[in-house]
Amino acid sequence: MTAATTDHVFDVNESNFEAEVLQASLTTPILVDFWAEWCGPCKTLGPMLEKLAAEFNGAFRMAKIDVDKNQQLAAMFGIRSIPTVVLVKDGQIADGFAGALPEGQLREFLLRHVQPGEGGAAVEEAPVVVETPEEAINRIQQQIAAEPDQPELKLDLALALMQAGQADAAEAELTSLPANLATDARAIRLRSQLDLARALVGAPSLGDLQQRIQADGADWEARDLLGVRLLLEGDAPAGLDQFLAILERARDWNDGAARKRLLAAFNTLDDADMVGRYRRRMASLLF
C-alpha cells in the first residue's frame, strides 16, 4: 500500500517526523495515518484518506507512517491497533480514531477541524452520509468474513454492537479479543460502558430515582443509579455530579463505588476539558 508522495500525501519516518509533522503542523494540520502492509483495513482506509487529502486541497496534509518500519513512533503515540489516524495541529494531537471508517464519517471527522480549500482552491463539498450502527455492523461483519485474520475488526464490531444497544453481543466480542487488543484504549472504554450499562439492568426509571432522592437525599443507591442513567442518556455533567455528591458525603459507601463510577465514566467520555474539571473536583474530595 505504499503511496507515491504528492503535494498532500507523504511518507514519514523517525528521521523526518519532527520537521514534517510537529513543526509543519504549526502552519498546516497534519493527518497521520499509522498503517502496515499486512493490515487489511489499512488498504481500505488509506486510499479514502488520500482521496480526501486531494479534495481538501491543502487544508491538511497526510503523513503515512509504516508501524513496522517505525516502531518508536508507533510506541510514542501509544498505537495498539491499526489503522489508527491522528490529527496533529499546532504541534499537539487534536483528535484521532482507530479502525477503517466509511468515507462519510471520515469527511465528517475532518470537517470538525478543517474546511476544504483552506490551503488552495475551493472544492465542492460532498454530502456527509452518516452510517447507522446497524449499517456499521453489517459492513464490519462483511469485512471479517473477507479478512478473518484481522482481529482488530472484532474490536470494531464490538464497538458497533454497543452503539446499536446490543450490549451482550458487544461483550461477547470484547471477551474474545486477543490479549494485545484487550488493552486497546477503545476496548478499555467499551469495558467501562458495559460495566455502567450492567448497573441499570432492572433499575428504576429516571423519574422514580429522582423521586427517591427528593424523599431522601441520602439514598445513595438512588443517586448512584441516577448518575449512571443520566450519564448513559447523554447528560454527563448531571450524572457526574451525582457521583461527586456521594463521594463528598459518603465516600466509603458500597466499597467506594462513587470513585469507581467516576473513573469508569471518565473512560467513556470524549470531552477532555470536562473530564479534566471533574478529575480535579474528585481529587479535591479525596486528598
Burial status of residue 66 (CB atoms within 10 A of its CB: 0-12, 13-18, 19 or more): buried
Residue 63's beta-bridge partner residues?
10, 32
Q: Residue 50 and residue 199: Cα distance in Å, rounded? A: 43
What grid cell was written down for 107?
Answer: 469527511
Angle between helices 272-286 and 236-249 (to 10 degrees): 10
Q: Residue 119 and residue 97: Cα distance in Å, rounded? A: 24
What grid cell was written down for 156?
Answer: 470494531
Q: Residue 13 and residue 73: Cα distance in Å, rounded? A: 8
List, by residue number, the catalytic residues. 39, 42
DSSP state of 165: T
List Cβ neighbours of 101 (8 Å cut-off, separation of 6 or more). Answer: 45, 109
What grid cell was written down for 155?
Answer: 474490536
Amino acid sitting at position 262? L
Q: Residue 133 and residue 167: Cα distance in Å, rounded? A: 13
